[in-house]
Structure 1
Amino acid sequence: MLSFTNPLKNNPQATLRLGLGLLLLGAVPVAQAQVRLPRLVSNGMVLQREAPVRIWGWAKPGEAVSVAFQNKTYRATTGLDGQWRVMLPAMQAGGPYDLTIKASNELTVKDILVGDVWLCSGQSNMETPMSRVRDKYPEVIAKANNPRIRQFEVPLTYAFSGPKADLTGGSWVPTTPQNVLKFSAVGYFFALDLQAKYQVPIGIIKDAVGGSPAEAWLSADALKQ
Structure 2
Amino acid sequence: MKRTFLFAAALLAAGQARAVELNSMTAADVAGTAIAAEPAAVESGEKASYAVKMGTIRGGMNGSPADVKINKLDWTITGGMNHSPVDVAIDHEARTIKGGANLSPVDLRFEWSKEKVLVEGGANRSPVSYLADWEKGELTGYANNAPLKITFDMKEGQAGENIVELTGYAGRAPVSLSYNKVSGRLTGAMNRAPVDVTLVNCDLYDFLQYFFLFAGRN
Give TM class, smaller chain.
Answer: under 0.3
State the TM-score, normalized to the length of structure 2: 0.26
Larger strand proportion of the pair:
2
State the TM-score, normalized to the length of structure 1: 0.26
Larger helix proportion of the pair:
1
Q: Which has the higher contact order (CA 8 A, sep 6+)?
A: 1
